[in-house]
Amino acid sequence: MLEVRGLNAGYDFLQVLWDVSLHVSEGEFVALLGPNGAGKTTTLRTIAGLIPPMSGEVFFRGEAIGHLPAYRISRMGISYISESLNLFTNMSVQENLLLGAYAVQDKRKELESLDFVFGLFPRLAERRHQLAGTLSGGERKMLAIARGMMSNPRLLLVDEPSLGLAPNLVQNVFAALQELRQRGVTILLVEQNVNATLEITDRGYVLEQGRIVLEGQSSDLRENEHVRSAYLGL
CB-wise, 50 or 196, nearer to other proteins? 50
CB-wise, 101 or 230, nearer to other proteins? 101
DSSP-derived secondary structure letter, 193: -
For helices 107-120 and 93-100, angle between their N-to-C axes, nearest 10 degrees: 120
Q: How many chain residues are in contact with other proteins, going by CB under 8 A?
A: 28
CB-wise, 55 or 89, nearer to other proteins? 89
Q: Which amino acid is at 24?
A: V
Residue 26 exposure: Cα atoms within 13 Å on the Cβ side? 2
Phi, psi of 181 (to 5 degrees): -60, -40
- Closest approach, Cβ 99 to other proteins, in A, equals 5
Residue of the chain from 43, 46, 82, 186 that contacts other proteins (CB under 8 A): 82
Q: Is 71 in the site for other proteins (CB under 8 A)?
A: yes
Cα–Cα distance for residue pair 73/80, rounded to 1 Å: 10
CB-wise, 147 or 203, nearer to other proteins? 147
Q: Which of residues 88-127 bind other proteins (CB under 8 A)?
A: 88-91, 95, 98-100, 102-103
Which pairing describes strands 78-81 and 155-159: parallel, antiparallel, or unpaired?
Answer: parallel
SS3 69: coil
Residue 95 exposure: Cα atoms within 13 Å on the Cβ side? 11
Using only C-alpha atoms, the chain has a radius of gyration, in whole angstroms, of 17
Q: Is 198 in the site for other proteins (CB under 8 A)?
A: no
SS3 87: coil
Residue of the chain from 151, 162, 193, 218 that contacts other proteins (CB under 8 A): 151
Choose the binding region for other proteins from 70-78, 174-182, 189-197, 217-225 (rule: CB under 8 A).
70-78
CB-wise, 150 or 194, nearer to other proteins? 150
Q: Is 197 in the site for other proteins (CB under 8 A)?
A: no
SS3 30: strand
What is the per-residue binding string for other proteins in 17-56, x denoting contact by CB under 8 A? -------------------------------xxx------
Q: How far is CA 179 from the centre of its chain?
A: 15
> Residue numbers of the site for other proteins (CB under 8 A)?
48-50, 69-71, 74-75, 79-80, 82, 85-91, 95, 98-100, 102-103, 147-148, 150-151
